[in-house]
């Protein structure tokens, strides 16, 4: 198939890259078509032709360009989803604010998201109000992990323990002025693996 519009090829390539670098994942064919002002079938034909010419690469996640492939080798785009209280339980809040590029050497394998710490209940663990936390998304925690825990629809960041004798979960603040939160059960949203903070002089 011959394409009359090299301009559309350039536009499709630019759309893929701008979408990826803004959101952290590849667009669907439908999204590419919408951004480029063409039909889905026409976009699919262009993408197939671009792939045959080495201008795009079809991956499991969608069509990529060389620029996005190079980025994906060393960088992962992690969603920043708001704040987590380091204090009393507050209503669950998760709304993607932006995607932050982080080196894969920092994250490792797995799915991650970023949260901003709010409060001072974890100061003895080196987590201060305003720090950025890298959270590994998982539904379990081991004793001693710093976990994002959901209790009755409310969320908090605490050190996680299971009291097997009492059959309860203990959410322990790293602040001597605060008491443990003891609950029959909770839902683990993820485990904190790194703290990203500004250094003060």
* Set 118, 158, 165, 194: catalytic member: 158
SS3 22: helix
The upper half-sphere exposure of residue 32, i.e. CA atoms within 13 Å in the direction of its Cβ, equals 29
* Set 121, 124, 165, 187: catalytic member: 121
Token pair recorded at residue 26: 């590849």
Task: Give catalytic status of residue 158 as yes or no.
Answer: yes
Task: Give catalytic status of residue 11 as yes or no.
Answer: no
**Distance (Å, whole) CA 90 – CA 153:** 9
Contact 103, 112 (CB under 8 A): no
> Other CB atoms closer than 10 Å to residue 86's CB: what's the count?
26
* Residues with catalytic roles: 121, 158
């Amino acid at each position: 198939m011959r394409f009359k519009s090299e301009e559309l090829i350039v536009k499709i390539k630019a759309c893929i890259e701008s979408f990826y670098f803004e959101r952290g994942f590849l667009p669907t064919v439908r999204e590419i078509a919408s951004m480029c002002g063409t039909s889905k079938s026409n976009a699919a034909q262009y993408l197939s032709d671009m792939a045959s010419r080495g201008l795009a690469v079809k991956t499991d996640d969608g069509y990529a360009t060389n620029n996005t492939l190079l980025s994906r080798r060393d960088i992962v785009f992690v969603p920043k989803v708001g704040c987590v209280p380091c204090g009393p339980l507050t209503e669950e809040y998760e709304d993607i604010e932006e995607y932050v590029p982080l080196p894969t050497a920092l994250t490792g394998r797995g799915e991650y998201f970023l949260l901003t710490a709010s409060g001072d209940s974890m100061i003895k663990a080196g987590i201060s109000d305003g720090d950025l936390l890298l959270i590994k998304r998982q539904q379990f925690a081991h004793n001693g992990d710093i976990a994002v825990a959901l209790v009755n629809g409310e969320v908090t960041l605490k050190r996680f323990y299971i009291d097997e004798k009492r059959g309860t979960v203990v959410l322990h603040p790293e602040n001597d002025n605060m008491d443990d939160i003891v609950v029959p059960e909770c839902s683990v949203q993820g485990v904190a693996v790194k703290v990203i903070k500004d250094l003060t002089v």
